[in-house]
Structure formats: C-alpha cells, structure tokens
Amino acid sequence: MKKVIMLVLLCAATCFAQSSFDGTWKTNLSNIEFSPKPDVFSLQNGMYKCSSCVPEINVKADGTDQAVSGHPGYNTIAVKQLDDNTVQAIRKMDGKVVSEVTETVDNNGNTLNVKFTDHPMNGDLVKGSYTMSRVGKTPSRAHPISGSWRIDKVSQVSDNGVTMTITLQGDQLSMSAPTGESYSAKLDGKDYPYHGNYGISHVSLRRLNANTIEETDKKDGKVLSVYRMTVSPDGKTLTIVENDKLRGTTSKYEMDRQPTMEGAK
C-alpha cells in the first residue's frame, strides 16, 4: 500500500508537471534579426511588379482586383498609386480582404514607411508599421517605391498579432492566438490541421531536444516555413528561428513569457 501511495505522489509531481513551453508569449519587437535578402518592387507605366515575391507578381496598378496564383494566403491583389510617394496594395482570398498595406517613400527617397492592417479569419484586425531602407539606386522613370528594400525596424504591432499561448502535455502541443489561429499536434512529425489562417492548412511538430521544438507549416502538402522554437534555461524567453522555404530567407526573433494572473498579483 505504501508503495502505491509513493507512486501516486511521484506521478502528481512529474506526470502533471508544467512544461517549460507552457504559457503566453509575446514577441519582443526591438530584438528581431531580419533576413538580409531584400524585397524588390517596381511601379512603372501602370504596372506593379514584385520580383521577390514567390511566385513573382506582375499586375496592372489600376486599383482593381488582379488575379494571382501560387500564393498560399491570397489569390488577388489590387495595387493603386495614392500620390507621388504612396502606393496601396490590398490582398484578398476568394473575395475576402486578407491584408491592406500602404507604402510611403520619405522625401530623401531612401526610407520606406509601411503601414499594414491584417484581417484574420476569426479574430480582430491586426495593425502595425515598420520601416525599410533602400538598397542600391532608385530605378529611373519609376515610382519612388521602386527598387530593393530591407526591413530595418518594426515600430508597432497590435498585441493580438504578436501573442500566442502554448500548452504542452506529454507529446501533445496546443497553440492558440488572439487572431483565432490554433492547432493541436503531437510531436511525431505527422501532419495535423492548422485552423484560422488563410495561408496554412497543416502543421507538423517534432522535438529536437529538451528545450527545442521544430514546427513545419504547410499549405496543401507544400512546406512553407520551418520554425525552431527554443526555451531559454531560465524559462523567460522563447527564441524562434524562421526559415521561409518559399523565399529562401531566415530570420530570428524572441518572445517574452508573459506573467500569469497569479504572478501578477
């Protein structure tokens, strides 16, 4: 009897112990390492071209929805020149707005100020802004947004767009976000449904070591991105390295653990 009681107590301490991944995490916008690979745009002679997009985009810039194919998160884009320095792009999936982006070149022509509004499938709008720096010269006889640009700073993003909650019980990890995105998957490398995102249909997970889990996002069987999520030894930081398989880029950012209601008291 005593042995049985000891086993029960041991299970209570270990079987239901909280994982170091458990909790709510928020991206630290001041500590992001962006890929050095630039974005390349062109607006000239009434045509908009995104050479760095995969697949490449080449459409009329007349403000009407133009069909594009091969992009996991949208299938039309409407590009419109608002003034001599500003261009707007609205992306949709099957007629539903996915994102609105406004890009404005400053007076020196070397900084691109970007404001965006994302429209999640099942959540509130996500708004934010960031700046990009010009790489190389401005193409002649083209709108000032034309050229190569690199992101250098994210100024602001709505909390619901940079926050997620993770629960890991045994080999089952569940993720949810205020945007309505969620999944529940075992750490066995198999595909499981990803809910609430236009561009992702499935996710697979596998544990690399005690503090690192690898996530692979897919759309209809095609790998889009691979993330390596590592919890720091003190459990306060979740470092994520993102490998964008479509564009061939790698970026890195950190998420800070948010205090629980008990911890906030």
The pTM assigned to this predicted structure is: 0.89
Contact 190, 173 (CB under 8 A): no
Q: What pLDDT score was predicted for residue 15?
A: 41
Please state, as a whole number, how many other Cβ atoms lie within 10 Å of the Cβ of residue 200: 19
Contact 25, 238 (CB under 8 A): yes
Residue bearing tokens 């994982």: 19
Residue 19's DSSP bridge partners are none
Give the chain's domains with CATH numbers. Answer: 19-33+162-260 (2.40.128.20), 39-159 (2.40.128)
- 173: amino acid identity, one letter: L
Nearest to 118 by CA among 108, 110, 126: 126
**Could you give the CA distance from residue 52 to residue 58 in angstroms, rounded to a whole number?**
11
**Could you give the CA distance from residue 86 to residue 83 in angstroms, rounded to a whole number?**
5
Long-range Cβ contact pairs of 164-172 (< 8 A, separation 24 or more): 164/24, 164/25, 164/255, 165/23, 165/24, 165/25, 166/21, 166/22, 166/23, 166/25, 167/19, 167/22, 168/19, 168/21, 168/22, 169/19, 171/207
| Residue pLDDT, tens place only, 38-76 | 999 999 999 999 999 999 999 999 999 999 999 999 999
6 has pLDDT over 50:
no
Distant-in-sequence, close-in-space partners of 243: CB < 8 Å, separation ≥ 6: 225, 226, 227, 249, 250
260 falls in which pLDDT band (50, 70, 90)?
confident
| Residue pLDDT, tens place only, 118-140 | 999 999 999 999 999 999 888 88
